Amino acid sequence: MRRFVVTSLAAIVLGTTAIPAVANAGDTLYQNCIPSYQGCPEQLEDIDQYAPHISRVMNYYLWSGGTAAAQDYIRQANANGQKVIVMIDDAWSRTQLGNHVDAVKNLAGTWGYYLGDVGHATPYPETIANHDNVSKHPRVYIDKHSKVGQARTKALAASGDVEKIGYECFPIWTMSAQGAIAKSNPPFDYMDECGDMAADAHDIGVRSRSVNGAFMVVQAFAFDDECAAEPDCAGPPPKRSGPYPTYSQQCKERDVVTPNAVQILWFGAFFMTNNNWHGRLDKISRAAVDPNCD
């Protein structure tokens, strides 16, 4: 459920009040923190305080602190009014996968399961449905909109083992000299292409017997910040570089992927490595719902 409750005076100052919702606007934020570390629960509190329109999180490191810490993280998110898309590791055996699903399937804060992305998906997606056969939380898979990525997405959709599928699109970048050379066959995404990707994901869903929603992952990070923390994130070669999206650019990302995408996932796993974390949370939160942010 989308939340429109302002949680603090700080949130009021940042302008998160009285914004009417945009149809199908998305509100999921990626994280990359270990729940057993103090900074991870603090991130959830920051998201709750400064991004009240973000009501879902997907944490790549959800299980890194152990099962009990993952459960506590989901409980804390739920107490904040947030839901968690539970990360599934593609290296787990069937038994391990079943055990992890059993650990979270009955928690009120569990929204669904993140099968993986960009080819790294569990080979046992049906195991999730078998263990979570009462609540039937949806399974999500995200890929690149390459020929290989499209083929993987279509195959998973055709199998009936996923309910939400989508692509990632990161259009805010600065062309390097290497990128300019490769412009005739650019490895980069452009703003209008994000809309084409969302439409393709929607069409796959229409043809699938199980998929009932197209998701799009869009850019809410600076390549320079992301790659400073994770050197291999953008290449090699040619490497991307680029600034943090402006508020207007984030709104345009949202607008080009909706209404074909019923949910937007704002990617920025390394937000805590850069400055103005709270301001950036506010920007994402408002861009998710503000209909007039040209």
The arithmetic mean of pLDDT across residues 112-121, rounded, is 95
Is residue 185 helix, strand or coil? coil
Q: Which domains does the chain have, with CATH numbers?
A: 25-287 (3.20.20.80)
Q: Give, as one character, the DSSP assignment of residue 8.
A: S
Is residue 238 helix, strand or coil? coil
Closest to 26 in 3D by CA, of 162, 145, 156, 142: 142
The arithmetic mean of pLDDT across residues 207-228, rounded, is 86
- Model pLDDT, residue 290: 85
More reliable by pLDDT, 140 or 278: 140
Give, in order, the Cα–Cα distances in Å from 168 to each of 114, 116, 183, 252, 266. Answer: 14, 12, 20, 15, 10
% of the chain with per-residue pLDDT over 90 = 61
pLDDT surpasses 50 at 17: no
- Model pLDDT, residue 65: 96
Non-local (6+) Cβ contacts of 219 within 8 A are 169, 170, 171, 172, 245, 253, 267
The arithmetic mean of pLDDT across residues 211-234, rounded, is 78
- Its pTM stands at 0.86
How does the average pLDDT of the chain come out, rounded? 83
pLDDT in tens, 233-289: 555 445 667 888 999 999 999 999 988 998 999 998 665 556 678 888 998 988 888
pLDDT surpasses 50 at 10: no
Point out the least confidently predicted range of 24-28, 118-122, 194-198, 288-292.
24-28
